[in-house]
Structure 1
Amino acid sequence: MSERESIDGVPVTEDQIAEWAAEAEAGYDVTALKKRGRGRPGRGAEPSQVVALRLTSEELAALDARAEREHKTRSELIRDAIAAYAA
């Protein structure tokens, strides 16, 4: 195993790989795995749609600065701006 192999900065050891292999060979509870859910939680009753948007580094910096001032995420700030514009 390469010394560069890691998970979240923690090196993966041969012992860890052996434990994972033994766990997999013993089998997993499929019902428990399916209960974990998939993806990000929805924002409403309908599925959300992802929209790609290209911004310059200056636009992105201004957006991030305002989001930080307002204690919001980028996405929250963009959604608020669209809602205000569309109103």
Structure 2
Amino acid sequence: MGAEETINGVPVTEEQIAEWAAEAEAGYDIAALKKRGRGRPGRGAQPSQVVALRLTTEELAAIDMAAEREHKTRSELIREAIATYAA
């Protein structure tokens, strides 16, 4: 194995690979794996919906700059703007 093999910047060793192989060969607790859930956590009691929106590069840049300035994510900023508008 070459030195370029990493996980999150940390080199993977032959010993780690052997441990992972032994773990896989021993089998996994499927019930425990299923409990972990999938995807992003919900935002509330009800499921959220994804809405596609087309923006120009200028609009997107303006949103990203505002989000950075306010230390928020793009999604947070857009949700707040919609909530303010809809109120």
Q: TM-score, normalised by structure 2?
A: 0.77
For 1:31 and 1:54, the matched residues in 2 are separated by: 41
**After superposition, where does 1:57-76 map in structure 2 within 5 Å?**
57-76=57-76
- Once the two structures are superposed, what CA deviation does each residue of 1:15-67 show, in whole Å capped at 9, x if it has no partner? 21111000111122222222222211111222112223343443233212211
Alignment partner, residue 31 of structure 1: 31
Alignment partner, residue 7 of structure 1: 7
Q: TM-score, normalised by structure 1?
A: 0.77
Deviation at 1:2, TM superposition (A): 3.8
Task: Give percent identity, aligned residues only.
Answer: 83
Deviation at 1:8, TM superposition (A): 0.7
For 1:65 and 1:41, the matched residues in 2 are separated by: 26
For 2:66 and 2:50, the matched residues in 1 are separated by: 22
RMSD of Structure 2 on Structure 1 (CA): 2.0
**After superposition, where does 1:44-59 map in structure 2 within 5 Å?**
44-59=44-59
Moved more, 73-82 or 26-35: 26-35
